[in-house]
Amino acid sequence: MTDYPYMISNNKITPIIEKIQQAARPQKFTIEVLRSLGFTSTNDRAFIPLAKKLGFLADDGTPTALYDQLKDKTTTKTVLATQIKSLYAELYAINVEIHKSPEGEIKGAISRVTGKDE
């Protein structure tokens, strides 16, 4: 059964990435680093496990080569799209444009893949 990471407030993903692009590369990406970027809400912490699942951070929080591509504004969109499509491959197998689908359809696909209710 698949277990997808999620953020309660996904409207913070873009601002977090924008701040990452402006900041120096940390030795480890921690809650303290997130706070130093201005993201102090406990909901913002969900970015870290998401970044790990997407391959931008190693399990111990160390930035990966993909993190460097995320920081590079010329490769951000491409690497983000590639990693999202890889992580959510089962959803993209249901619909190759699942990201454009209505919320109800996305939730239905997630329920089918994970076996969990909404």
What DSSP string runs through 84-97? HHHHTHHHHHH-TT
- Read off the pTM: 0.88
pLDDT tens by residue, 68-116: 999 999 999 999 999 999 998 999 999 999 989 998 888 888 888 888 7
Instruction: DSSP letter for 63, please.
Output: B
Return the ∠ at Cα 110 (arms to 31 and 59), rounded to 5°.
Answer: 30
Alpha-carbon gap, residue 84 to 3, rounded angstroms: 14
33: left (phi over 0), alpha (psi -120 to 50) or beta: alpha
pLDDT category at 2 given cuts 50, 70, 90 is low
Query: Across residues 13-18, what is the average pLDDT?
Result: 96
